[in-house]
A and B are shown apart, each in its own frame.
Chain A
Amino acid sequence: MVALPESQVRRPRRPGSEVRRLRRPSAREAGTALLFVLPFLLLFAIFRFGPAIAGVILGFTDYTIGGDTSWAGLENFRRLVDDPTFWSALRVTVVFTALSVPLSMLASLGMALLTRRAFRGAKLFRSIFFLPVVTSLVLAGVVFTWVFADGGPWSRAMGALGLPAGSWLADSALVVPALVLVSVWSRFGYGMLILLARLQDIPAELEEAALTDGASAWQRFRYVTLPQLRPALFFVAIIETTVSFQVFDMIYVMTGGGPVRSSYSLVYLLYDQGFKYFDLGYASAVGVALFVMTIVVALIQRLTLGREE
């Protein structure tokens, strides 16, 4: 997706090693090398490569655990299109992603810019902001269930601001925004670190030149920093979108998909169909839909964020 092949240019090697490189690998050398690759290769073939292909094929079959397998053609996808649950899960997933990715990226960018310079405490702040990233969403989900409970901190704070009080998790219109807040809390530290790494690499001369030309802080950000950050922003956008599309853990813990399926995501649908009703063919079709969505969005982001200036 974002991995770049290494350039074809061979680095100059030390004298003495060229001789070895130029002749064909001896059978023995190739044999030992293969032995080194073999354990991983077997694991990869059985548990990643095979299943990835089987997972797509299963989407076109009728497969239930303990039942017979039969070719179903597009039947699963026809069912998917006719299934209102699929459409609502798709809507929940898309709305969740459309809200959480931009918000999380804004928070990432803001905190990266604020902790960019070396000042006393900068490192501590970075560590604090990254802490939620290493915290399991199940544990976070348990705490946030209380945070969003009726009469809990969030509903009191909202009530004080004149916004909808009461439990956001029990309100079908507000449950996704509540989940988005948890998601932003848990993810923004990751983007912040990626953007920080890129910010540190921007040549100081660029900004100094802009400063000398009398550019305002906003202009420096808009015309110097932002263009330099573009590739990193694209990378974060891709990762965060992929993560958001697959949202499941915290929904399982916080709402169970409710109220009335208003926080029921695509992966939740896949889990229910596959591991509650054992309809693995249909679950795979949901997986294929997720796959297609991920690729389409990655392409769109490639064309918008990833384009060259």
Chain B
Amino acid sequence: MTDTITPPATAAPATERPRRARRPYLADRAGRGWVIGRTALLLAGAVLTLFPFYAMVVLSLKPTGPVTFPDSLLPWPFSTEAYDQVIGAKSVLRWMGNTLVYSVVSVVGVLLFASMAGYAFAKKRFPGKETMFWSFLAMLMVPYHVTMIPTFIIISELNGVDTYWGMIVPTLANAQAVFLMRQFIASLPDSLFEAARLDGCSEWRVYVSIVLPLIKPILATLGVFVFLWHWNDFLWPLIVGQSLDMRTLTTGIASLQQENVPLNMLLAGSVVAFVPIFMAYLIGQRYFQEGVSTTGIKG
């Protein structure tokens, strides 16, 4: 898990950013030359950006054998052999399951703990609040790799190496998530909570039935990012999940590459690992883009 930095973001909820209506002005006066030039540049950029994805898919749909260029970029000879091998392999299925557990459990954990803490920081007063908050901030400056070594020592002392909990629990201490939650919850009017409290609701009840429904947008935004970070995470799973059975898709594919597995199988594995992220991206695209542009959360 990498840590990220919160910029001076707007306190506006990440889903609706009020923008002034704009008159289209310069575009109207832009000449045809500009439009053609812009389109050409953008198309060139898009082709270069998408080429690796195209190569990944096409090369994974080839029979095992020598890969030559450029004819290997044509979609024939077509064969799903690599996929049969990869999806049939016990270890790959296991890695997929591991990645899913690592990502989903972490998302739930981060969202739960960060929203609880964020609510208290935004709407409550308690001793030590400022000190805690500044210590969270200060820790964002320490590179992840400095903390990773002692964290690994702690986990190995507690016999957490090669276990799910050992992989997941340290990543739940995500200060970035608490900042985002606090910022979002602080922008909600107090009266929403006051009324419930006057009606005699317990704090937990207020949190579950009022806070959680109100912060759905930020939960969704943060959720897709935490999922993405964990799905693509590499270094931490590499050192904690050392046995064959505890690898994730990223560390598993990297280990396959070192064993000189044929390219079509490596790429079939890559496609299998990429599809869930791609789906998440298609569905949660708005959250990804809004998340980056309003909070500066790291992609």
Main SS of chain B's interface residues? helix
- Whole-angstrom CA separation of A140 from B25 in the bound complex: 40
Contacts of B179 in A (CB 8 A): 3
- Whole-angstrom CA separation of A204 from B173 in the bound complex: 42
CB neighbors of B among A1-48 (8 A): 1-4, 13-14, 16-17, 20, 25, 29-34, 36-37, 39-41, 43-44, 46-48
Residue of B nearest to A205 (CB): B25
CB of A216 within 8 Å of the partner chain: no
The answer to whether B120 touches A284 (Cβ under 8 A) is: no
Give the distance to chain A from B5, nearest Cβ to Cβ, in Å. 5
Contacts of A267 in B (CB 8 A): 145, 235
- Whole-angstrom CA separation of A43 from B263 in the bound complex: 41
CB of A259 within 8 Å of the partner chain: no
- B125 touches which of A29, A39, A201, A287 (Cβ 8 Å): A29
Contact with A along B14-42 (1 / 0, CB 8 A): 00000100111111010000010010011
- Say whether, besides A44-B136, A131-B281, A194 and B292 are in contact (CB < 8 Å): yes
The answer to whether B277 touches A134 (Cβ under 8 A) is: yes
CB of B77 within 8 Å of the partner chain: no
- Whole-angstrom CA separation of A253 from B147 in the bound complex: 23
The answer to whether A55 touches B190 (Cβ under 8 A) is: no
The answer to whether A49 touches B250 (Cβ under 8 A) is: no
- Say whether, besides A142-B267, A146-B59, A190 and B67 are in contact (CB < 8 Å): no
Contacts of A30 in B (CB 8 A): 124-127
- Whole-angstrom CA separation of A249 from B257 in the bound complex: 13
Residue of B nearest to A290 (CB): B143
The answer to whether B55 touches A147 (Cβ under 8 A) is: yes
Give the distance to chain A from B162, nearest Cβ to Cβ, in Å. 14
Contacts of B112 in A (CB 8 A): 39
Show 29 A/B contacts (Cβ-Cβ < 8 Å), sorted by A: A1-B141, A3-B137, A3-B179, A4-B8, A33-B124, A36-B120, A40-B114, A43-B170, A43-B172, A47-B169, A51-B149, A55-B146, A55-B147, A114-B38, A115-B42, A119-B35, A130-B288, A130-B299, A135-B232, A136-B231, A136-B250, A142-B266, A146-B59, A151-B68, A201-B19, A211-B26, A235-B296, A290-B146, A294-B141
Give the distance to chain B from A97, nearest Cβ to Cβ, in Å. 14
Contacts of B159 in A (CB 8 A): none
CB of A185 within 8 Å of the partner chain: yes
Give the distance to chain B from A278, nearest Cβ to Cβ, in Å. 10
The size of the chain B interface, using a CB distance under 8 A, is 111
The answer to whether A56 touches B146 (Cβ under 8 A) is: yes
CB of B254 within 8 Å of the partner chain: yes
CB of B213 within 8 Å of the partner chain: no
Contacts of A37 in B (CB 8 A): 116-117, 120-121, 126, 132
CB of A96 within 8 Å of the partner chain: no
| Candidate in B146, B170, B175, B281 with the most chain A CB atoms within 10 angstroms | B146
- B273 touches which of A130, A136, A194 (Cβ 8 Å): A136
- Whole-angstrom CA separation of A207 from B23 in the bound complex: 12
- Whole-angstrom CA separation of A187 from B40 in the bound complex: 22
Selecting from A70-78, A81-89, A120-128, A163-171, the interface stretch reads A120-128
CB of A175 within 8 Å of the partner chain: no
- Whole-angstrom CA separation of A83 from B114 in the bound complex: 42
Residue of B nearest to A145 (CB): B257
Residue of B nearest to A250 (CB): B234
CB of B293 within 8 Å of the partner chain: yes
Contact with B along A133-157 (1 / 0, CB 8 A): 1111111111111110001110010
The answer to whether B6 touches A3 (Cβ under 8 A) is: yes
Contacts of A151 in B (CB 8 A): 68-69
- A140 touches which of B52, B119, B153, B257 (Cβ 8 Å): B52
The answer to whether B234 touches A138 (Cβ under 8 A) is: yes
CB of A275 within 8 Å of the partner chain: yes
The size of the chain A interface, using a CB distance under 8 A, is 109
CB neighbors of A among B277-293 (8 A): 277, 280-281, 285, 288-289, 292-293
- Whole-angstrom CA separation of A252 from B235 in the bound complex: 10
3 interchain residue pairs of minimum CB distance: A197-B293, A33-B124, A51-B150
The answer to whether A2 touches B154 (Cβ under 8 A) is: no
- Whole-angstrom CA separation of A205 from B58 in the bound complex: 49
- Whole-angstrom CA separation of A47 from B114 in the bound complex: 15
Contacts of A283 in B (CB 8 A): 149
- Say whether, besides A117-B26, A137-B234, A144 and B52 are in contact (CB < 8 Å): yes
- A280 touches which of B2, B153, B172, B207 (Cβ 8 Å): B153
CB of B113 within 8 Å of the partner chain: yes
- Whole-angstrom CA separation of A144 from B55 in the bound complex: 9
Contact with B along A273-303 (1 / 0, CB 8 A): 0110000100110011011001100000000
The answer to whether A153 touches B289 (Cβ under 8 A) is: no
